[in-house]
Structure formats: structure tokens, C-alpha cells
């Protein structure tokens, strides 16, 4: 099988992190965001992945592909647009890469999505319904902020799609598009090579022919394309690991580690620290004595000096938070930022410069 991952966005909502690296390569749970998806696709039997990138994507993506093609033993290629093509146009552009003599369906994923990726179950769902297109949907409490998928209920977890309603003013349903699709090659015949929306132009056509089905996503889901949602998604992901892969988490030690924490084996953690819950510490990080961390990410090569506190924030690569400093409330430090010593409280800021 093949898959296409839509990675064409510019990552403006995750700045300043994306000033230094393309959004798909920003770390999440100590690995690039997009690697979570590629590994899930490999586990589902996908052997070739096409990355639909934009015309300004940095060359660093090439290095990523070379590294992980070998590690995962998969073919990973690019389809590069020269102008914005929306969410459907990139499929038309990559048509020759997605179609082969097998006639098998292919996956399409939005690169910002983190979830449990039940892709094998989705393949069975697609076959059982003889669908032309299958989409994953997820339940939300407030659907007014999203495009709602309205369905004919046929069972507890599966149904045929009737229509899409964008940001409804009145309640029409609680299931939204989760950004994971399984499409027959025939869908490509509906897409012109121009800026096109798969949600607004292509899926409604398939739904009108009663060939579009939706599978309700089990477990957690989050679009992690902005800092607040990134941190919420991290909390969900760590909870998932606690249940399904507890060996990947740092063992709780009562007075020092609380709840779900990932710490790379090369990270150094000093004495009298209190780490957690919901913390990720990257490779080569140094956490000095007396530090308090909770609800945060500290990325590769960063140093948190003694008695500093980082909460509900993201510390970018190779940054330093000074002694007794406070970084809190959805603050995002870019690459190589220096927060000065003493009582500096960065509340809700996005910081690219070297020194605060």
C-alpha cells in the first residue's frame, strides 16, 4: 500500500519553533511529529510514503528522508507544489506516485494529527463497506469550531456520510473530520490540478453518491499545530503510553517523578528535582538540581538551571532557562534562546531572541 501525508503548511501557529525547522520535523514525544505517522503507516503494511510539501520547504526535509528510509526500510518520496494547491490539489499532483497496477486504496493523512492510528481497522472498515472513500471522524464536545460530518447511523462505530456542515451555528452532530482518509484510486479522477479542497469539493460529491463512509476514531485525537493543542496532545499521548507502552515512561520515584514523564536516556537530571506530570525531556538535556517541571516539553540540548520552574510551556532546542527563572502559561522558546537568571516570568510569550 501507499500513503500521502499533507505537510504543505508553513507552520505559522508553531512559531518560533518553525523558524528553525519545518513543522513536520518539530519534536513531539522526542521524535519528529511526522515520524509518528510514518511508523503507524509502516505497521499497517504501507511500503511507500509520499510527502506533499510546499515550494518553500527547507532542504532539511531531504536529510530526514534519507535517514528514515534506511531505518524503516520504506520508500519515502516528495511531491513538491510550486503554488498552493489546498488539501486536494496535492493528490492530483502526486497522482503518478499513488497509482499502480494493484489498484489498492491509499491513505491520506494531515501531518498535524496525533492519535492512536487504528489504520489496520480502517482498512477492514473500508473493505466491509465497499466504500470509494473512508474518513476517520472523532467526537468533540463543542463542534461549532469545526467542520461537522453528518452521518446516517448504521451502528455504534460506523456510518455513511450524508453531508458536511462547516462551523454550524446550531447543533447538527458531534463528529468532526479527524484528517485521516483511505481512498480508492478512482477518487483521483475527481480532482483537478488546481487549488482544491477535499473537504468542501471532493467529499461532498462522493457523499452524494452514497459512497463515503466514516469510521469513529477510538481513543485520543488532537491537532497539535499550535502550542496549546500541542501540550494537550502531549498529555493525551503520555496517558496512552501509560496504558499501552509503560516501559517508555520514566519510572515514578515518589518525591522526584510524578505521573507520566518521558526522559531520553542521555538526559541528566539533578538532585531534589520534581518532574511531572506530563513532561517530555529530550536528548542531551541537563536539568540541574532543584528544578520543577510540569506539563512541558524540554527539547534536545537544552539546560534548565537550578531552581528554575517550567510549566505548561515548550522549551526549544539548545535553549537555557536561568536559575530561579519562571517560564509558564503556554510560553514557547525558540531554538537557542537564553532566559536570564533570577525571577524572570515569561507568561504566554513566543520568544525567538537570544536573551530575555
293 or 164, which is more confident: 293
SS3 assignment for 148-178? EEEEEECCCCEEEEEEEEECCCCCCCCEEEE
138 shares its domain with 260: no
Ranges 221-235, 254-268, 298-312, most confident: 298-312
Task: Reply yes or no on whether the pLDDT at 266 is more than 70.
Answer: yes
Task: Reply yes or no on whether the pLDDT at 343 is more than 70.
Answer: no
- How sure is the predictor about 58, in pLDDT bands with cuts at 50, 70 and 90? low
Which of 206, 223, 240 lies at the terminal end of a domain, its last residue? 223
174 shares its domain with 323: no
What integer pLDDT is reported at residue 303 of this predicted model? 96
Number of structural domains in the chain: 2
Pick from 333, 279, 320: which is nearest to 14 by CA? 333
Q: Mean pLDDT throughout 82-88?
A: 86
13-35: burial string, b at 16+ Cβ within 10 Å, e else:
bbbbbbebbbbbbbbbbbebbbb
Which of 223, 244, 260 lies at the terminal end of a domain, its last residue? 223
What integer pLDDT is reported at residue 252 of this predicted model? 67
What integer pLDDT is reported at residue 348 of this predicted model? 67
Q: Mean pLDDT throughout 84-88?
A: 87
Whether 210 is covered by a domain: the verdict is yes
- How sure is the predictor about 320, in pLDDT bands with cuts at 50, 70 and 90? very high
Task: Reply yes or no on whether the pLDDT at 152 is more than 60.
Answer: yes
Whether 157 is covered by a domain: the verdict is yes
Q: Mean pLDDT throughout 286-295?
A: 96
Kindly report each contact of residues 56-61 with a partner whose C-beta sits within 8 Å and lies 24 or more positions away, as own/partner: 56/10, 57/7, 57/8, 57/22, 58/21, 58/22, 60/21, 60/22, 60/25, 61/22, 61/24, 61/25
Whether 170 is covered by a domain: the verdict is yes
What integer pLDDT is reported at residue 156 of this predicted model? 47
Lowest average pLDDT, out of 143-147, 182-186, 190-194, 323-327, goes to 143-147
What integer pLDDT is reported at residue 181 of this predicted model? 96
SS3 305: coil
30 shares its domain with 97: yes
190 shares its domain with 250: no
What integer pLDDT is reported at residue 157 of this predicted model? 47
- pLDDT one-digit tens code per residue, 295-309: 999 999 999 999 999
- The domain that holds 288 is classified in CATH as 2.160.10.10
What integer pLDDT is reported at residue 162 of this predicted model? 84
3-state helix, strand, coil in the chain (%, to 5): 25, 30, 40
150 shares its domain with 109: yes
Range of the domain at 196: 2-223
Q: Mean pLDDT throughout 264-292?
A: 94
Which of 179, 200, 223 lies at the terminal end of a domain, its last residue? 223
What integer pLDDT is reported at residue 262 of this predicted model? 94
What integer pLDDT is reported at residue 187 of this predicted model? 93
Whether 356 is covered by a domain: the verdict is no
Task: Reply yes or no on whether the pLDDT at 10 is more than 50.
Answer: yes
169 shares its domain with 198: yes
Q: Mean pLDDT throughout 34-52?
A: 93
166 shares its domain with 306: no
Pick from 132, 74, 128, 125: which is nearest to 103 by CA? 132
209 shares its domain with 233: no
Task: Reply yes or no on whether the pLDDT at 354 is more than 70.
Answer: no
104 shares its domain with 207: yes
194 shares its domain with 272: no
217 shares its domain with 236: no
Whether 143 is covered by a domain: the verdict is yes
Lowest average pLDDT, out of 83-92, 122-131, 153-162, 225-234, goes to 153-162
Quick one: what percent of the chain has pLDDT higher than 70? Answer: 91
Whether 73 is covered by a domain: the verdict is yes
94 shares its domain with 140: yes
Output the average pLDDT for the chain. 87
Whether 95 is covered by a domain: the verdict is yes
- The domain that holds 130 is classified in CATH as 3.90.550.10
What integer pLDDT is reported at residue 183 of this predicted model? 96
What integer pLDDT is reported at residue 56 of this predicted model? 58
Amino acid at each position: 500500500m501507499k500513503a500521502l501525508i499533507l505537510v504543505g503548511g508553513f507552520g505559522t501557529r508553531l512559531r518560533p519553533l518553525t523558524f528553525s525547522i519545518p513543522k513536520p520535523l518539530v519534536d513531539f514525544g522526542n521524535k519528529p511529529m511526522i515520524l509518528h505517522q510514518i511508523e503507524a503507516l509502516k505497521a499497517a503494511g504501507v511500503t511507500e510514503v509520499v510527502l506533499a510539501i510546499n515550494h518553500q520547504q527547507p532542504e532539511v526535509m531531504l536529510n530526514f528522508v534519507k535517514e528514515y528510509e534506511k531505518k524503516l526500510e520504506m520508500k519515502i518520496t516528495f511531491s513538491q507544489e510550486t503554488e498552493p494547491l489546498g488539501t486536494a490539489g496535492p493528490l492530483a499532483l502526486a497522482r503518478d506516485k499513488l497509482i499502480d497496477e494493484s489498484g489498492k486504496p491509499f491513505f491520506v493523512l494531515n501531518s498535524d494529527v496525533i492519535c492512536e492510528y487504528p489504520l489496520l481497522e480502517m482498512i477492514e472498515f473500508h473493505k466491509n463497506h465497499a466504500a470509494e472513500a473512508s474518513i476517520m471522524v472523532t467526537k468533540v464536545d463543542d463542534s461549532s469550531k469545526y467542520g461537522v460530518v453528518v452521518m446516517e447511523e448504521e451502528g455504534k462505530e460506523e456510518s455513511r456520510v450524508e453531508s458536511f456542515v462547516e462551523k454550524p451555528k446550531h447543533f447538527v452532530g458531534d463528529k468532526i473530520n479527524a484528517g485521516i482518509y483511505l481512498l480508492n484510486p478512482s477518487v483521483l479522477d475527481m480532482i483537478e490540478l488546481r487549488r482544491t479542497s477535499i473537504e468542501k469539493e471532493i467529499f461532498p460529491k462522493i457523499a452524494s453518491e452514497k459512497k463515503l463512509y466514516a469510521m469513529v476514531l477510538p481513543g485520543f485525537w488532537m491537532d497539535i499545530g499550535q502550542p496549546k493543542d500541542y501540550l494537550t496532545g502531549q498529555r493525551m499521548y503520555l496517558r496512552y503510553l501509560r496504558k499501552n507502552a509503560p516501559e517508555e515512561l520514566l519510572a515514578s520515584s515518589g518525591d522526584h517523578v510524578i505521573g507520566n514523564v518521558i526522559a531520553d536516556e542521555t538526559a541528566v537530571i539533578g538532585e531534589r528535582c520534581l518532574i511531572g506530570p506530563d513532561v517530555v525531556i529530550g536528548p542531551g538535556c541537563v536539568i540541574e538540581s532543584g528544578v520543577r517541571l510540569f506539563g512541558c516539553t524540554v527539547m534536545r540540548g537544552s539546560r534548565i538551571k537550578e531552581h528554575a520552574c517550567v510549566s505548561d510551556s515548550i522549551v526549544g532546542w539548545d535553549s537555557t532557562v536561568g536559575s530561579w527563572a519562571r517560564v509558564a502559561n503556554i510560553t514557547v522558546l525558540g531554538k537557542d534562546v537564553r532566559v536570564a537568571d533570577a525571577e524572570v516570568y515569561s507568561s504566554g510569550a513566543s520568544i525567538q531572541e537570544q536573551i530575555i
